[in-house]
Amino acid sequence: MTAPALSAPKITVANPGWLTAAIMLATIMQVLDTTIANVALPHMAASLGATQEEITWVLTSYIVASAIATPMTGWVADKVGRRMVFMGAIIGFTLTSVLCGLSLGLPEMILFRVFQGIFGAVLIPLAQAVLLDINPREKVGQAMAIYGAGIMVGPIIGPTLGGYLTEVFNWRYVFFINLPIGVVALLGVMAFMPREEIRHRKFDLFGFSMLAIAMGSLQLMLDRGQSEGWFESVEIWLYLGLTISGMWAFVIHCLDNQDAFVDLKMFRDRNFVMGLVFIFIIGMTLFSGLALLPPLLQKLLGYPVIETGLVMAPRGVGTMVSMILVGRLVARFDARGLVLFGLLVTAASLHVMAGFDTQMGSMPIMVSGVMQGFGLGFVFVPLSTLTYATIETKYRADATAFFSLVRNVGSGVGISVVTAVLSRMTTVNHEEIASTLTASAPELRAALPQLMSNSAYYASIADQLVSQQSAMIAYIDNFILMFVFTLAVVPIVFLLRNPKHHAPKT
């Protein structure tokens, strides 16, 4: 019995396997840079003569620049051609990475990070668009599994790799490591990516400007909110006003202008819109967990940097295993069922994390990490397949750009939420626990009888123990919140259409 014939891909390439490898190298390089520099910030601050607050602009500048530049992906790709854009982005990202590593002061570091964010912004959405176009519809699931592995494993191994390079070599190697990866990716794209017909599109300066103001202001609000006291600060209110007014002006402009920066007709596709809502919430849970675990392990449980990376590494193993499995299963089973299964496994992992305590070993952390990585792998791949299953192919470049943008915004919102909850609940828990530690409390007399002698030393020990327990409870509160967020998207699964019954238009 012969295998059924595969449908023709939108773009035919001679070596799709090698092209996929080159594209994914570039993608992993970009994704790594969103997290690899985090653990090196204290070393950077000392080397560049910056304060702890100033050095965070190394992260903020990259995130804001990337958020502003991502929506331009579709227009630039149509105007110049995907091959030229990909090559230019890889060259620019690699060179600015080297310049970041050579920086001698904070201003030049921030400048190079801005350009790094601009060049890197197009890599992820373009990679997804190219993989969708060079594979027949029957193999899109496998292609998205490869793509998802790069997107999800990158942030997981980033802190581990960053910590290793910083401790063994120097923080500058966090950026220098992109040089060999970038060179190999560039050579692969030059050799295997074909030239495409250029589609002339008028550049909508007003529409882009409004969207850029909205996205940039939103990212600044999310990044600066915690340090500025959120809405107690005039600065945060200004960012909120710019976000709302910029987005409002952008939508109105696109509705009234035929040559708008983005064709809003693509949002008529139900799967695409539901996919955006879905990935926004998944972005919140995926990156929030990655942001919470390093400080939990290092500051609260006393793990060194490298050991923290090793304890978190099983999460990547779970993701890789699920990617291998789901790439094969998505062609045989209803993708919606796979997403639902992944959500339930992810929720179960968060339930395990809600049982963490200060006396536990590393096993609960690794087990929950494997479960969460495995579950998110089952969510991301079929979700990507469902999101683009019914959308017209002419919208793919813009659609993948918005998918990437919404995922990043979701991660920013999620990190801001869990950081605020952690800070607030740590204070509340400390006050509540401390209020129960009276001289008449039998538990206190039994555990630390020296406190009855009014010793400042033992009072300090008691305060440290209270602070530790308060922070642990605050982390658990966040894990419970993420558990609720994960279950909240379950109903969206049933709003997605089965791609086998709704083929996309060409």
In the chain, what are the domain boundaries? 12-203, 204-260, 266-505
Q: Which among 387, 478, 376, 463 is positioned nearest to 424, based on CA atoms?
A: 478
What is d(CA 149, CA 153) in angstroms, rounded to the nearest whole number? 6
What is d(CA 250, CA 214) in angstroms, rounded to the nearest whole number? 9
The yes-or-no answer to whether 12-203 and 266-505 have a common fold is yes
In CATH, which of 1.20.140.10, 1.20.1250.20, 3.20.20.70, 3.30.2010.10 is domain 266-505? 1.20.1250.20
Q: Which among 183, 208, 207, 122 is positioned nearest to 405, based on CA atoms?
A: 122
12-203 CATH fold: Growth Hormone; Chain: A; (1.20.1250)
C-beta neighbour count of 13 within 10 angstroms? 17
DSSP string, 205-273: HHHHHHHHHHHHHHHHHHHHHHHHTGGGSHHHHHHHHHHHHHHHHHHHHHHH-TT-SS-GGGGG-HHHH
DSSP 194: P
What is d(CA 413, CA 215) in angstroms, rounded to the nearest whole number? 12
What is d(CA 473, CA 480) in angstroms, rounded to the nearest whole number? 10
pLDDT tens, N- to C-terminus, the chain (506 residues): 444 556 666 777 778 788 888 888 888 888 777 767 766 777 777 888 777 666 767 777 787 788 788 888 877 887 788 888 889 999 999 999 999 889 888 888 888 988 998 898 888 888 877 887 787 776 776 777 777 777 766 666 776 777 778 777 888 888 898 899 999 999 988 888 887 767 776 777 788 888 888 888 887 887 777 777 788 888 889 999 999 998 898 888 888 877 777 778 888 888 888 888 888 888 887 767 777 787 788 778 887 767 777 787 787 788 878 877 887 787 777 888 888 898 899 899 999 988 888 788 888 888 988 888 888 888 877 887 788 777 877 777 778 778 878 887 887 788 778 878 888 888 887 777 777 665 555 655 555 555 555 555 555 666 677 777 888 888 888 899 889 888 888 888 888 777 655 555 55
The pLDDT, as a whole number, for residue 2 is 47
The pLDDT, as a whole number, for residue 25 is 86
Half-sphere CA count of 483, side-chain side, radius 13 A? 16
